[in-house]
Amino acid sequence: MKEKYPLMTVVDEKGTLVSEHYQSEVKEEQVKTFYYNMLRLRTYDKKGKALQRQGRIGTYVPFEGQEASQVGSALALNEEDWMFPTYRDHGATLTFGADLDRLLLHWNGRVEGCVPSLTKKIFPAAIPIATQLPHATGAAMAEVYKGTNNCSIVYFGDGATSEGDFHEGMNIASVFKAPVVFFNQNNGYAISVPIEKQMNSETIAQKAVSYGIPGIRVDGMDVFAVYLAVKEALDRARRGEGPTLIEAVTMRFGPHTTADDPTKYRDQEKIDEKRERLDPLSRVERLMKNLNMWDKDWIKNMEDEIETELNNAIDRMEAFEKPNPADMFDYVFEEPTWTIAEQKEALLGRIG
C-alpha cells in the first residue's frame, strides 16, 4: 500500500533539491522565511521545556522534530483561513499569527491563554483527542454558506485516527465537499503506543479511500514538501473540490509531554542518533549552504532578535498575577451543582 502512497519529498536529508517539478518554488526569500520561523519555534520550544523544569510554568508539550510540519502547513494558509490545533501545535499557531504572550499565559494557567489570538481564526488547542475534526468541518461548511473562499486546516496525531470523531469529521466533510484539510502529523506514537499496535493499515493516507477523497503522504521533516502539499490541497478546496487528507510522516524527538519518560516505551538512543540526520532545521541549513544562501551575520542577528522577543514575552508572562485554581469551578454551570461546590471547597481547603 505504501507504493500507492509514495512519500512526497522536495528537499532531502542532505539539503539537496530532489524534485524538479517543484524546483522553481524554492526561492531565497521563501527559504529564509521557512528558516526564520523554524528557528523561532525551536528556540521557543527549548525555553518552554526549561521553564517547566524550573517550575515557572505547568506541564509543557514539546514538539521538537515537528517544526517543518507545523511551519510549512501554517504558512500555506491565507489570512482569513481557520486553524484547529491540538495541544502540540502551538508552533503552527505561532507561525500563523497567534499572540506569543497569550500562548505563554496558556502554559502558565491563565484564562487569557485560552484565546490564542484576537485577530486570527485560531481555535483553542484541543486537549481531547480528535474532537476538533468535526469542528473544523463545520467551520469550513459555514464559510461555504457565507459565500467566502476561506478554508480550514485541522491538526491531529496518529492516535486520533482511532477515534470516532476522526471518521465523523472526514465523512461529513467528504459528503458536503467541505473546504478543509485534514493534516495528520504521524510521529509514530500515540503517547506510548506505537502505530503498528493501533492500526492495521500501512499508512494513514490510505484511510482517505473510505471517504472518496485524496490521501497524500508527505515527508514531514521537509518544510518545502509540507508547504506545497498543503497549498495544493487548499487550492483544491477553494475550487470547491472538497477535503484532502495529508499524512505528514515526522518524528517527535523528545517526550510526549514533560510528564512523560519516552525511555519506558522506545529506544531513545536510536531516536537521538537519527536526530542529527533527520532534523528538519538542519535540513534547511544544509540547503542554504548548498545554494550559497547562508549568511552568518543574518543568522546571528536573527538569533538575537528571537532571543530578545522570547525573553521579553516571558518577563511579561511572569508579571501577571498567579492564576487561582479555584476559578475552574466557577464557569461550568450558571449555578454550581453540589458536586462542583464540594470539589471547590476541598481544593480551597488544600491550598489555604
Residue 194 backbone phi and psi in degrees, to 5: -70, 155
* Long-range contacts at 110-116 (CB < 8 A, ≥ 24 apart): 110/320, 110/323, 111/323, 111/327, 116/85
Q: Is 256 a catalytic residue?
A: yes
The C-alpha atoms of residue 216 and residue 23 are separated, in whole angstroms, by 20
Catalytic hit among 256, 277, 286, 350: 256
Cell reading at 86: 491540538
C-alpha cell at position 154: 485541522
B/e letters for 259-286, b = 16+ CB within 10 Å, e = fewer, are ebebeeeeeeeebeeeeeebbbbebbbb
Whether 36 is catalytic is no
Single out the catalytic residue among 42, 90, 252, 286: 252
Q: Give the CA count within 13 Å in the CB-facing half-sphere of 5.
A: 22
283 is catalytic: no
CB atoms within 10 A of CB 198: 13
Environment class of residue 140 by beta-carbon count within 10 Å: exposed (0-12), middle (13-18) or buried (19+)?
A: buried
Say which residues have a Cβ less than 8 Å from residue 224's Cβ, sequence separation at least 6.
Answer: 10, 11, 22, 25, 26, 34, 72
Catalytic residue among 22, 56, 238, 265: 265
Per the CB < 8 A criterion, the answer to whether 117 and 98 are in contact is yes
- The candidate with the shortest Cα–Cα distance to 71, out of 275, 224, 277, is 224
Known catalytic residues are 252, 256, 265
